[in-house]
Amino acid sequence: MFHASNDGERWEFVRSFAFGAAGPVRTGFGVQAPTGEGCKVTFDDIQFEQETLQSLRDGS
């Protein structure tokens, strides 16, 4: 599951996906601006937690 937040408090469901790999998985971050002049992005406070969410739609 991929969730995103602008404030670190309210998380919104973005999409669901599976890696389909039996071994270790490498991940990365990317951004896109499908319309307009593009965008400038800064990633900060990135955390990974392996947990089961109670609600897939609201990130809780």
Residue ranges of the domains in the chain? 28-52
pTM of the model: 0.41
Note the pLDDT of residue 48: 76
pLDDT by 10s per residue, the chain, length 60: 677 777 878 888 888 777 777 888 787 888 888 888 888 888 888 877 777 767 666 545
Note the pLDDT of residue 29: 83
Note the pLDDT of residue 30: 82
Note the pLDDT of residue 60: 52
- Cβ partners under 8 Å of residue 14, min gap 6: 2, 3, 4
Q: How far is CA 16 from CA 4, 25, 44, 59, in A?
A: 12, 16, 22, 12
